[in-house]
């Protein structure tokens, strides 16, 4: 099959080189020249579009489409997640959850607690949804246990990321299950067998090591929004706090399995799907929090309004930068970089497991989206795997492709900027921590998948 052609000035290897140089320039502008990340992303995105020969009138449009598409999803989630976190913090809900988790795991193992909770909470939700749900708890546990926020936060992020790429019923993994015609029960079993040790290595173990060398010194502007400690107040019960936090997770899980719980196409099916939408699920949780964390704790309507208004200001930078990252990713996509990668790998003769991992990895690096990388790679590799001379377990194809889709998160990935901004890191620090963490997940999960393939035969 011939590589997909574009009408741009640069093709093939030259196009890939231009994309790589754009990433290097972007990192230099932000890390070395201290240019505002939003401005730097906009400049480099437009510059890359011009350099590869995209139509002038389409460059800005492509950036706007990418930024708008990202913000249309992320901005709503960040806003609602921040409100829920603020209500939890002001009422003592996060403090209660933190107390309970620390009591169960011990202060020295608080980062293990966050990884475990994230692994469970992340099953039905996308990474960004799970992140905004759990980050207030991470802030409070770090404060309560006297541990670096980065240690708790990276452990949490590892748990969320592993299930994002590997474990059904997560939407990205379900997409791969369908493409490869894998058995969902076996996929879940194999994914847990591989996902748990992967999360442990990339989460608590790596986070404990890397935080010895990467220290975030500056005061975190978001900490006061999520951490409120008042020794005099009475805390809400653990059951109420946990139920409010997990409500959106349960709603999204119900939405995922709507076709199993009701007749497809029925009114009930539509309602379940609607309630399972991340934005709707978070909105329901926020409204519930106004009662469980607001009225029941004695806060007036005016006070609750003040909480929800004031907490949004610190998120403005996060939202803008994440949106700009989406715009950069769209420029890379529309410039033909992903097509160049597909063309360069289609003629290879490597194992289907390695091919699925490699194509997903290259697309992830180029586009910044794990879901796009996984979905695209599945479509390319599934016919190749089906026609392979030696049969390969389709469940393992799901895991190998998912592992590849998580590698090397960098400046064109919205998740990169979410982690950077919430944990108050520099771009260099984020590359040393989050980017390496994601790469560890990808490589370890691949190695374990290959090992399992050898065992299964």
- Domain membership flag for residue 374: no
Q: How far apart (Å, rounded) are the C-alpha atoms in residues 125 and 163? A: 9
Residues with Cβ within 8 Å of 411's Cβ and at least 6 positions away in sequence, in order, are 23, 26, 27, 30, 41, 325, 328, 417, 427
Q: What is the per-residue pLDDT for 10? A: 55
- Domain membership flag for residue 249: yes
Q: What is the per-residue pLDDT for 443? A: 96
Q: What is the per-residue pLDDT for 5? A: 41
Q: What is the per-residue pLDDT for 404? A: 93
- 335-358 per-residue burial string, b: 16 or more CB within 10 A, e: under 16: bbbbbbbbbebbeeeebbbebbbb
Closest CA to 321 of 42, 114, 58: 42
Give the total number of structural domains in the chain: 1
Q: How far apart (Å, rounded) are the C-alpha atoms in residues 142 and 107? A: 9
Q: What is the per-residue pLDDT for 233? A: 62
Cβ atoms 149, 423 nearer than 8 A: yes
Instruction: Write 239-244 long-range contacts (CB < 8 A, 24+).
Output: 240/93, 240/292, 240/296, 241/88, 241/93, 241/94, 241/96, 241/97, 241/292, 242/97, 243/292, 244/84, 244/88, 244/93, 244/285, 244/288, 244/289, 244/292, 244/293
Q: What is the per-residue pLDDT for 124? A: 61
- Domain membership flag for residue 406: no
The structure tokens 């990418």 sit at 66
Q: What is the per-residue pLDDT for 173? A: 76
Cβ atoms 87, 107 nearer than 8 A: no
Q: How far apart (Å, rounded) are the C-alpha atoms in residues 445 and 191? A: 9
- Domain membership flag for residue 191: yes
Q: What is the per-residue pLDDT for 224? A: 67
243 class by beta-carbon count within 10 Å (0-12 exposed, 13-18 middle, 19+ buried) = middle
- Domain membership flag for residue 194: yes
Closest CA to 130 of 142, 143, 119: 119
- Domain membership flag for residue 229: yes
What separation in angstroms does the CA of 329 have from each of 35, 45, 373, 426? Answer: 19, 8, 12, 20
Beta strands in 1-50 (DSSP E): none
- Domain membership flag for residue 243: yes
- Domain membership flag for residue 202: yes
Residues with Cβ within 8 Å of 190's Cβ and at least 6 positions away in sequence, in order, are 395, 396, 399, 452
Closest CA to 303 of 316, 314, 312, 293: 293
Residue 33: Cβ within 10 Å count: 8
Residue 50: Cβ within 10 Å count: 11
Find the domain containing 189 and state its range: 68-316
Q: What is the per-residue pLDDT for 199? A: 95
Q: Per the structure block, which two tokens stand in for 241?
A: 């706090």
Q: How far apart (Å, rounded) are the C-alpha atoms in residues 66 and 356? A: 26
Q: What is the DSSP letter of 296?
A: G
Sites in the chain below the pLDDT cut of 50: 1-6
């Amino acid at each position: 099959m011939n590589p997909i052609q574009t009408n741009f000035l640069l093709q093939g290897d030259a196009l890939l080189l231009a994309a790589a140089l754009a990433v290097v320039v972007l990192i230099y502008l932000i890390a070395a020249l201290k240019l505002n990340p939003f401005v730097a992303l906009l400049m480099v995105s437009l510059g890359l579009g011009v350099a590869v020969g995209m139509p002038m009138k389409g460059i800005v449009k492509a950036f706007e489409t990418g930024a708008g598409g990202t913000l249309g999803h992320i901005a709503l989630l960040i806003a609602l997640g921040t409100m829920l976190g603020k209500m939890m913090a002001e009422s003592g809900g996060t403090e209660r959850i933190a107390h309970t988790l620390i009591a169960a795991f011990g202060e020295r193992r608080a980062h293990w607690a966050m990884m475990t909770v994230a692994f469970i909470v992340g099953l039905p939700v996308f990474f960004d949804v799970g992140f905004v749900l759990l980050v207030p708890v991470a802030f409070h546990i770090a404060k309560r246990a006297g541990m670096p926020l980065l240690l708790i936060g990276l452990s949490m992020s590892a748990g969320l990321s592993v299930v994002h790429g590997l474990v059904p019923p997560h939407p990205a993994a379900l997409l791969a299950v369908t493409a490869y015609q894998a058995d969902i029960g076996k996929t879940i079993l194999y994914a847990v067998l591989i996902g748990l040790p992967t999360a442990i290595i990339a989460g608590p173990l790596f986070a404990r090591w890397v935080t010895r060398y990467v220290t975030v010194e500056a005061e975190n502007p978001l900490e006061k929004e999520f951490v409120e400690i008042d020794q005099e107040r009475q805390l809400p019960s653990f059951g109420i706090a946990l139920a409010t936090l997990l409500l959106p997770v349960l709603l999204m899980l119900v939405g995922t399995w709507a076709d199993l719980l009701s007749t497809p196409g029925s009114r009930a099916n539509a309602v379940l799907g609607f309630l399972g939408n991340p934005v709707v699920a978070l909105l329901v949780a926020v409204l519930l929090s106004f009662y469980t964390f607001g009225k029941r704790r004695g806060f007036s309507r005016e006070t609750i309004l003040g909480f929800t208004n004031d907490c949004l200001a610190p998120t403005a930078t996060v939202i803008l930068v994440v949106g700009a990252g989406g715009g950069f990713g769209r420029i890379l996509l529309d410039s033909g970089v992903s097509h160049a990668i597909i063309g360069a790998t289609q003629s290879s003769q490597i194992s289907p497991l390695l091919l699925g991992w490699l194509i997903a990895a290259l697309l992830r690096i180029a586009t910044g989206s794990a879901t796009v990388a996984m979905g695209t790679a599945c479509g390319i590799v599934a016919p190749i795997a089906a026609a392979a001379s030696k049969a390969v377990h389709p469940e393992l194809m799901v895991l190998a492709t998912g592992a590849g889709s998580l590698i090397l998160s960098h400046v064109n990935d919205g998740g990169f900027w979410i982690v950077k901004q919430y944990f108050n890191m520099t771009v260099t620090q984020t590359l040393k921590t989050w980017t390496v963490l994601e790469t560890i997940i990808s490589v370890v999960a691949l190695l374990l998948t290959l090992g399992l393939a050898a065992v299964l035969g």
